[in-house]
Homo-oligomer: A and B are copies of this chain.
């Protein structure tokens, strides 16, 4: 069977596979939050001609059905077909994503006043060459030279020994030995033709993967690469992926996907900077607990089942060869330690990069990405929780939701007299959907202008035809075009749930340690949102606590920043480990009090308006 696309591409498909799978098999990935289970309604395509059997229409409306739109994952071609894939259904994997400028990164490192001390140390050795009268083996000879240099107990892996005999002779026995701080030999290089050594800091996010190539001699950031985590094709959130790994047998598929992303990012980095892969002598990865377990190919099943236990929080220093990252196979991979199943090494790295663990002031650290993790504390104590906010701010579960890429509505102003919205669209192009910051703008504007009430319901008496009964119930249409962009009441409910989870988490964590909001002297905002979030609007929404704007600090991607710090310094690796050890984790999902806090926070901005005095003030206007 042949699938033709209106773009001209011709693909082949096996009998019995659905369109979603068939396209995937040909390298054409569709957006899908549910991983092809017919529930998210995102993998819309149009059957132009040819026989197809559609077993379910899911959330598709009458109009779309009439236009020939189907869910690819519920539609089976029964012969040669011609398919049109709308732009918003295409998952662009491997696209560059903007990341924050990192010129301040080395300044951040310097602020800690610690030495540069990567995982791998170097030792120059002038090894006496073997003779007929001094004929001990290469391994014993190297050990003897190390003994003479006062270094005892270095371990030699099979991979190291396999290449050692050749390397010693190539270097004429005047060598540089690379070995880890816990005494595992990594490489033998020539003392004469010495190459600079490099490290990789890697942030494995549920949505994106970022790689920093760092010169380990001076800590200089050489180059940067970033891409979507191609596990996305198996679902947007960690839970869907855990299900795929455990029930779908997709563990190695998920592992290969993310390691493949890292290796794909590495190719241009080493090429354009003329770096030898063998000279990449250390790797640090930071990610949430599920991402890290998947990276290491460990079954994440028990993360999802009460009592939510990961296989490891503190990972041994396994080798790059074990992880399949395409650098020297002996290179140690340091995993920034995790705290619990839903607070990972990305958060430990984030706290490290924020330096909140060094100061006496009480700070709140919020990482609002695909999930929402929060930390409260200072240099004496740290409390943390995960809020199960879900990935709605990244577009998942929102009818016209999308990521902050070209075509996404990212800002909205509504003019009350006319109720006409003024839209800011990424790339100034025709709107395709609405991203997280757009959702926050939309709801706060709709709330302040009275289009929605405190419960998030559309107020019918508002005189505008933008409020209408859509196929999924009441909705407000922001953009009218080939494809409308609207928020439905169901969407608004989902967004309120997410913001309520975040606020309830913050509130409960503070209560747990006996503090009120007023105790917070600083709020660090990290994660994908860290660069775009409008604080006033997020306060109106009731997502952020009602604190003076100057207390909020935007840190961008603190996971990669923390990984970079750990790459450079043994002291900072110890600090990351202390952070992860001393952080007290609160499991919100089983807390009755969390449920109370959450229900109170489901309103706009909150049932208790005394918590949001500035919003109360605005409402009066």
Q: Interface residues, chain A, CB within 8 Å of chain B?
A: 130-132, 135-140, 155-158, 161-162, 164-166, 169, 296-299, 301-302, 306-316, 318, 322, 338, 340-341, 585, 587, 590
Contact B162 A132 (CB under 8 A): no
A307: B residues at CB distance < 8 A: 130-132, 135
Q: Is the CB of A137 within 8 A of B310?
A: yes
A313 and B143 CA atoms in complex are apart in Å by: 12
On whether the beta carbons of A311 and B137 are closer than 8 Å, the reply is yes
A-B CB contact pairs (8 Å), 17 listed: A130-B307, A131-B307, A132-B306, A132-B308, A132-B590, A135-B308, A137-B310, A137-B314, A137-B338, A138-B311, A139-B311, A139-B315, A140-B312, A140-B314, A158-B316, A165-B298, A165-B301
In the complex, the answer to whether B314 meets A165 with C-beta atoms within 8 Å is: no
- The answer on a CB contact under 8 Å between B165 and A313 is no
Contact B131 A165 (CB under 8 A): no
Which residue of the partner chain B has the closest CB to A340?
A: B135
A139 and B297 contact, CB distance less than 8 A: no
- When distances are taken between beta carbons in the complex, the residues of chain B under 8 Å from A136 are 309, 313
Q: Which 6 pairs from chain A and chain B are nearest by CB? A: A139-B312, A132-B307, A137-B313, A165-B311, A130-B309, A158-B318
A347–chain B nearest beta-carbon distance, Å: 15
B299-A161 in contact (CB<8A): no
Q: Which residues of B contact A306 (CB under 8 A)?
A: 132
Residues of B within 8 A of A313 (CB): 136-137, 139-140
Q: Given A302-B169, A308-B132 in contact, is the A316-B137 Cβ separation under 8 Å? A: no
Q: Are A316 and B155 in contact (CB under 8 A)?
A: yes
Return chain B residues, CB-CB under 8 Å to A165: 298-299, 301-302, 311
- When A158-B318, A161-B298 are in contact, do A310 and B138 touch as well, CB less than 8 Å? yes
Judge whether A162 and B298 touch: CB under 8 Å: yes
Cα of A374 to Cα of B587 in the assembled complex, Å:
69
A221 vs chain B, min Cβ distance (A): 29
Besides A132-B307, A135-B587, 13 other CB < 8 A contacts?
A132-B308, A135-B307, A136-B313, A137-B312, A137-B338, A138-B302, A139-B314, A140-B313, A156-B316, A158-B296, A158-B316, A161-B316, A162-B299
Instruction: A296 to B137: give the CA distance in the assembly, Å.
Output: 15
Smallest CB separation, A365 vs chain B (Å) = 21
Of B157, B311, B338, which contacts A316 at CB under 8 A?
Answer: B157
| In the complex, chain B residues whose CB is within 8 Å of the CB of A585 | 135
CB distance from A2 to the nearest CB of B (A): 38
Please name all residues of chain B whose beta carbon is closer than 8 Å to the beta carbon of A164 when the two chains form the complex: 311
> Which of chain B's residues has its CB closest to A581's CB?
B140
- Report the separation of the CA atoms of residues A436 and B590 in the bound assembly, to the nearest whole angstrom: 79
How far is A158 from B295 in the complex, measured between Cα atoms in Å? Answer: 12
Nearest B residue (CB) for A163: B299
What residues on B are CB-neighbors of A587 within 8 Å?
A: 132, 135
Q: Which residue of chain B is the closest to A587 with respect to CB atoms?
A: B132
Bound: A169/B309 CA distance, A: 12
Q: How far is the CB of A216 from chain B (nearest CB, A)?
A: 24
Q: Which of B135, B308, B312 contacts A138 (CB 8 A)?
A: B312
CA distance A340 to B296 in the complex (A): 40
Report B-chain residues with C-beta under 8 Å of the C-beta of A341.
Answer: 135
Q: How far is the CB of A141 from chain B (nearest CB, A)?
A: 8
